[in-house]
Structure formats: structure tokens, C-alpha cells
């Protein structure tokens, strides 16, 4: 399919081409992504069912985990349907307003996930460094306020991105070289001055991801310092074990996030490599998070065994 190099005024639709250079194998690439999305949907739905219904999981860490699961579920639903429609059925066109809506939800949910990871780090910090005050600090009202603050921060900061894009009128192309609507991918289409869009995009990235990563790092620096001061090896091992799942989730999220972010703006990697990695960055953590917490968290692991492993009947 060929596209002319014209100037477009207030385009009504855009074209998502998927993964440039790999169009001939996109149909087959869709299958592993479908499996990842299916695992993410089933795993996070499972967490959203068992955490509210099981009283032993009504603790701050698991409440934050439920919010994380809901966020991951939203990310999959925001990305996967259109992406798979492009890969499998060649349905590449998308209304410009729908593209901006998808862009908003993807980046807002990313921001929410980052904030929840910071909240979970704070929970682990209080649990290990000030355990006697854990329940008095992390009350249900405090948890509700934290979740609302995280959601409002992401909604307000990210909500300005599509507003700034909407004010642009002239575009040199309507072909988005991506499998979903991403902020910088849309900004690059504009035939006008986009310094404000780029600068504000950087500000949002550092105000959310940068801020959260710094304070997660500070939290774990204090946690490790407190753990290494414990006199007994068994106590140190137990303390580390309570943090392992969160550390794994934190690393997978931020390493992939910053690689995707900087390669898009400053890197010289091949477009198909960047798009593959940015898609993996958004879809792989939602699939891995339930598995990581299921394997590393004794309470969830115990419930999984009770549900899926039938008890033997003794006569």
C-alpha cells in the first residue's frame, strides 16, 4: 500500500502500519502477543477476584496489588484489540479522535502503574523499617487517598497531551509507524512547530516515571540499610523475601520503560526493534506481574493450590 507525501489539514483518520519492515510476518507475530495478552487477562482477573473475596488478603500490599492488576488489565484492553486487528485482519485505519483516546488511556495507565509501584515500595518501607506503626499509618482511608492521588496525577498530567495534539492542524502524513497510538509517534506526523508537545511530553515522563523511580530507589536504599542491620540471618532472609516480588516487578517496568522512552527520542535503533520492544514493555509486565506475585507470595500461592489442586478424599 502506498501513501502520498501530502499535507493533511485536520485529518479525521490515521493509519497504523504495525511493525515497519516486518509487515510480511505480522500475522504470525500476533500469536505470541495474543498468548501474552491472554495470560495477562486471566492472571489479573484472578487477582481481582481472589483479593476482594479472601479476607487474609485484605492488607495494604494486596490492595495495591489489586489496583495494579486493574491497571494492567486496562493496558491490555487499550492496546491488544486494535493491535491484533492490524496484525491479523489488516484493519489499519483509526479515527484521529479514537487514536488520541487510546493515547490518553495508555499513557495514563502507565502513569498510574508507576505511582502504584511507588506506593507498594512505601508499604514495604513501613513494613520493614517501622513495623509497629504499619497498620496505624496505612489505614484504609490512607490507601484510598493514595490511589486517588495516583490516578488524578496521571489523569491530569497525561490529559493535557491529547489537548496539545488536538490544537495541531497540519500534518505531513497520517501514517503512524507503530502498532498503537503513542504520543511521540503522533507528534512526529505534525507539519507545525511541536516544541511545546515534545517539551511537555518530556516533563510528564520525568514528573511521573522519573519522580517515582527516584523515590522507589530511596525507599529500597533505606530498606536494605535496615535489613542489613538485623542481627539474625533468618530475619534478614525473611525481610528480603517480602520485597523480592516487588523488586522484580519494579525492575521489569522501569528498565523497559526508560529504554523505550529514550530510544524513541534520542536513539538510533531500527524502527521495528523499537516498536517491538515498546509493545513488549506495555504487554509483558501485565502478564508477568500475576505470575511473579503468585510464585513469590505465600498467601496467593496457597490460595492457588487450594483452588486448582483437588484434595484427595481419604476414606
pLDDT at 314 over 70: no
Q: Give the model's confidence band at 3: pLDDT under 50 very low, under 70 low, under 90 confident, else very high.
A: very low
What average pLDDT does range 130-159 have in this prediction? 95
pLDDT for 96 equals 96
Q: Give the model's confidence band at 8: pLDDT under 50 very low, under 70 low, under 90 confident, else very high.
A: confident
- 55 vs 234, residue with greater confidence: 55
What average pLDDT does range 78-98 have in this prediction? 95
Instruction: Indicate the average pLDDT of the chain.
Output: 87
- 146 vs 284, residue with greater confidence: 146
Q: Give the model's confidence band at 32: pLDDT under 50 very low, under 70 low, under 90 confident, else very high.
A: very high
Which range has the worst mean pLDDT, 81-90, 120-129, 199-208, 227-236?
Answer: 227-236
Q: Give the model's confidence band at 142: pLDDT under 50 very low, under 70 low, under 90 confident, else very high.
A: very high
Cα–chain center distance at 154? 12
pLDDT at 34 over 70: yes
Q: Give the model's confidence band at 263: pLDDT under 50 very low, under 70 low, under 90 confident, else very high.
A: low
Q: Give the model's confidence band at 262: pLDDT under 50 very low, under 70 low, under 90 confident, else very high.
A: low
pTM for this one? 0.90
pLDDT at 1 over 50: no
What average pLDDT does range 98-102 have in this prediction? 97
Q: Give the model's confidence band at 273: pLDDT under 50 very low, under 70 low, under 90 confident, else very high.
A: confident
pLDDT for 311 equals 62
pLDDT at 48 over 90: yes
What percent of the chain lies above the pLDDT cut of 70? 92
- 9 vs 152, residue with greater confidence: 152
Amino acid at each position: 500500500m502506498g501513501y502520498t507525501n501530502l499535507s493533511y489539514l485536520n485529518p479525521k483518520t490515521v493509519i497504523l502500519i504495525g511493525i515497519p519492515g516486518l509487515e510480511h510476518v505480522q500475522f504470525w507475530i500476533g500469536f505470541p502477543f495474543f498468548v501474552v495478552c491472554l495470560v495477562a487477562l486471566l492472571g489479573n482477573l484472578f487477582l481481582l477476584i481472589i483479593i476482594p473475596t479472601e479476607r487474609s488478603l485484605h492488607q495494604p500490599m494486596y490492595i495495591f496489588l489489586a489496583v495494579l492488576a486493574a491497571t494492567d488489565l486496562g493496558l491490555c484492553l487499550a492496546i491488544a484489540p486494535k493491535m491484533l486487528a492490524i496484525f491479523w485482519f489488516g484493519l489499519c485505519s483509526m479515527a484521529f479522535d479514537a487514536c488520541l483516546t487510546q493515547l490518553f488511556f495508555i499513557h495514563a495507565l502507565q502513569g498510574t502503574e508507576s505511582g502504584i509501584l511507588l506506593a507498594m515500595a512505601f508499604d514495604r518501607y513501613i513494613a520493614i523499617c517501622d513495623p509497629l506503626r504499619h497498620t496505624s499509618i496505612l489505614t484504609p482511608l490512607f490507601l484510598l487517598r493514595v490511589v486517588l492521588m495516583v490516578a488524578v496525577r496521571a489523569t491530569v498530567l497525561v490529559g493535557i497531551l491529547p489537548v496539545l495534539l488536538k490544537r495541531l492542524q497540519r500534518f505531513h502524513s497520517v501514517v503512524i509507524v507503530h502498532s498503537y497510538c503513542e504520543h511521540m509517534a503522533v507528534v512526529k506526523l505534525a507539519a507545525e512547530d511541536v516544541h511545546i508537545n515534545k517539551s511537555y511530553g518530556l516533563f510528564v515522563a520525568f514528573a511521573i516515571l522519573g519522580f517515582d523511580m527516584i523515590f522507589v530507589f530511596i525507599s529500597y536504599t533505606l530498606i536494605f540499610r535496615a535489613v542489613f542491620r538485623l542481627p539474625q540471618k533468618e530475619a534478614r532472609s525473611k525481610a528480603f523475601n517480602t520485597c523480592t516480588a516487588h523488586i522484580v516487578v519494579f525492575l521489569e517496568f522501569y528498565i523497559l520503560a526508560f529504554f523505550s522512552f529514550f530510544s524513541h527520542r534520542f536513539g538510533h535503533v531500527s524502527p521495528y526493534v523499537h516498536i517491538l520492544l515498546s509493545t513488549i514493555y506495555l504487554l509483558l509486565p501485565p502478564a508477568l506481574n500475576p505470575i511473579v506475585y503468585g510464585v513469590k507470595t505465600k498467601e496467593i500461592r496457597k490460595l492457588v493450590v487450594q483452588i486448582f489442586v483437588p484434595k484427595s478424599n481419604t476414606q
